[in-house]
Amino acid sequence: MIFSSFKWLQLRPAVVTSIVLCSSAAMASDSDVMRGKYLIEIGGCNDCHTTGYAPSGGTVPEEQWLLGDALGFRGGWGTTYPVNLRTYMNNLSKQEWIDKAKTLKTRPPMPWWVLNRMTEEDLSAVYAYIAQLPVIENRVPDYVAPGEQPNGPYIQWPQGPK
Ligand code: HEC
């Protein structure tokens, strides 16, 4: 009897420590993921990078978020397509993403300046959120040069092709 409770006392600190360590690690990454999701939602990324998001009033289910869109944006810059952010992030480490986002400049109408101005902490959270989404291959059309006709649907900006 005395022997067995002695054993329990010896084991307990190790057990308690490992439970505390596990749960605090899980909590930190959960809160990063949640903050990333929040930043994606208020940052308007789904408006372009998720098919049908804006017309649906933001009700597209999360399983379909950020897979890119075959709806092009056509203007003086040619026709651009919002990329599949799940495969995009899957090809980058967190640090590569942060470095890229800080200096990124794309053709319109991607608001690249928003990413340039995000803090490292917020960019990490965006990465944590997107990187834990399942990767789903969904190829969007390639960029089409100005003056060339896109095959699929597009939104024409007032500034027509030059
Ligand atoms: C108004 C539409 C629109 C919104 C809003 C938008 N994007 Fe984009 N995004 C695009 C388009 C179009 C491209 C492709 C640009 C090109 O081909 O040059 C793009 C490209 C990108 C790329 C690829 C950049 C590269 O390496 O070439 C990333 C990363 C990205 N967007 C992230 C985001 C994030 C994160 C948000 C939310 C903060 C966001 N986008 C909001 C339209 C949008």
* CATH number of the domain to which 67 belongs: 1.10.760
Atom of ligand 1 nearest to the CA of 100: 26
Atom of ligand 1 nearest to the CA of 72: 12
- The CB of 47 under 6 Å from ligand 1? The reply is yes
Residue 100 is assigned to a structural domain of this protein = yes
- Best residue among 49, 65, 69, 97 to mutate for probing ligand 1's pocket (most ligand atoms within 8 Å of CB) is 49
The predicted pLDDT at position 103 comes to: 98
Number of domains composing the chain: 1
The predicted pLDDT at position 24 comes to: 38
The predicted pLDDT at position 159 comes to: 76
Separation between Cα atoms, residue 134 and residue 125, nearest integer Å: 16
Residue 114 is assigned to a structural domain of this protein = yes
Please tell me the distance between residue 26's alpha carbon and the centre of ligand 1 in angstroms: 30
Please tell me the distance between residue 109's alpha carbon and the centre of ligand 1 in angstroms: 8
The predicted pLDDT at position 12 comes to: 47
- Best residue among 41, 83, 112, 155 to mutate for probing ligand 1's pocket (most ligand atoms within 8 Å of CB) is 83
> Which residue ranges in the chain fall short of pLDDT 70?
1-28, 160-162
Residue 159 is assigned to a structural domain of this protein = no
Residue 68 is assigned to a structural domain of this protein = yes
Please tell me the distance between residue 83's alpha carbon and the centre of ligand 1 in angstroms: 7
Separation between Cα atoms, residue 123 and residue 94, nearest integer Å: 9
- The CB of 112 under 6 Å from ligand 1? The reply is no
The predicted pLDDT at position 160 comes to: 64
Residue 103 is assigned to a structural domain of this protein = yes
Separation between Cα atoms, residue 70 and residue 155, nearest integer Å: 11
| pTM, 2 dp | 0.85
Residue 57 is assigned to a structural domain of this protein = yes
- The CB of 143 under 6 Å from ligand 1? The reply is yes
The predicted pLDDT at position 131 comes to: 96
Residue 97 is assigned to a structural domain of this protein = yes
CA distances, 154 to each of 11, 50, 60, 67, 123 (Å): 65, 15, 20, 17, 29
For residue 92, what are the domain limits? Answer: 31-136
Residue 17 is assigned to a structural domain of this protein = no
The predicted pLDDT at position 18 comes to: 42
